[in-house]
Amino acid sequence: MKAMPGRIRIIGGNLRNSRLNVPDLPGLRPTPERVRETLFNWLAPTITGVRALDLCAGTGALGIEALSRGAAAVQFVEPERALAEALRGNLARLRADTAEVALMDATQFLRGTPRAYGLAFLDPPFAAQLWTPLARLMEQGGWLAEGAQVYVESPRDQPLALPPSWVLHREGHAGEVRYALYRRSQNDPLS
């Protein structure tokens, strides 16, 4: 079941049942509650203390859910001013002081100075077809720690060309959406 437009509920952790205000924008596709619940059940053993990157943040629901469940800090990246401002407002209201919002394009952000994250969310707008270039920039640019986990959300029938060091850990489907959790292998299989 999808959340009503304009409001999204955090489903677990210390911010459970908090509502996020979300602007009504065309193409905005928040991750459904059922998918977030599954994802964070997968992440439960490793989420505490992790530094996360919510690339193409949109509503910020994935990153805020991570904060709610024990992530140490989350970097949000969102180029749409209305979404970034709504996200900043939600974070301030929730007193999430270990979160930062960068108002910029994901590609531009990944061309900056890297910081290694233990968890990354890669859920770009489907029409933009950014999975491969953003995955490549994250992998080659030093944005992922050894053993990092990367969540990827894409159309169910979309073939993805992800780095060979990203090993599929778990996956599922919800309607026409494929969601998957990858682990960055300790050693690149091509080296």
Most confident segment among 29-33, 123-127, 147-151: 147-151
User: In the predicted model, is pLDDT for residue 3 greater than 50?
Assistant: no
pLDDT in tens, 97-115: 999 999 999 999 999 999 9
pLDDT in tens, 32-63: 889 999 999 999 999 999 999 999 999 999 99
pLDDT in tens, 130-189: 999 999 999 999 999 999 999 999 999 988 999 999 999 999 999 999 999 999 986 544
Architecture of domain 7-184 in CATH?
3-Layer(aba) Sandwich (3.40)
Amino acid, single-letter form, for residue 36 = R
Averaged pLDDT, 77-84: 95
Per domain, the residue ranges of the chain are 7-184
Give pLDDT, residue 186. 66
Give pLDDT, residue 13. 92
- pTM of the predicted model over 0.85: yes
